[in-house]
Amino acid sequence: MINVGVIPVGNPGVFCSLLLPEAADALAAGEPLTALGLIQEEDELAVGAVAGYLIEENTSQIISLYVAPDYRRQGAGRLLMETLTGLLDEIQTGIRIDFTVTRKEHEDLEAFLKALGFQDDTNNDENIYLASLESLSKVCWM
């Protein structure tokens, strides 16, 4: 069974290696970041993480999203996004994630985001995906 929990500000702990350095450093420094981790309960393994922060009045920017390969396509990523959406639902209306498609993993992320209802808002070489929390709730959690 996989569970989601909040990664404490100031102490990314075992999730440090699952976050991009920018996110792990910001979290360790105590910056205002929302961070969630996935734990596989049986073996008490950290298997995924997502981190982001408020960028505009009603929009959060995801700066790190990772699920270990053995746990992909099993609902783990959806569980992270569902939990994040639930946390942000009352205070924000959208989520944004930016990345450059350079590897197979990024192509998988692109397909995952589109399946969740994110809209491509590509700018130059950087892929930008936007989704409203309302649209995410309709796609992910039915």
Instruction: Compute the average pLDDT of residues 12-17.
Output: 85
Per-residue pLDDT tens digits for 103-134 = 676 677 878 888 888 777 766 555 554 545 45
Q: What is the mean pLDDT of the chain?
A: 78
- At residue 108, the pLDDT reads 78
Judged against a pLDDT cut of 80, whether residue 5 lies above it is answered with: yes
* 111 contacts: CB under 8 Å, gap ≥ 6: none
**pTM of the predicted model, to two decimals?**
0.77
Helix then strand then coil, in percent of the chain rounded to 5, is 35, 35, 30
pLDDT digits (tens, 9 = 90+) for 89-108: 766 667 777 766 656 766 77
For residues 30 and 18, give the distance between their C-alpha atoms in angstroms, rounded to a whole number: 18
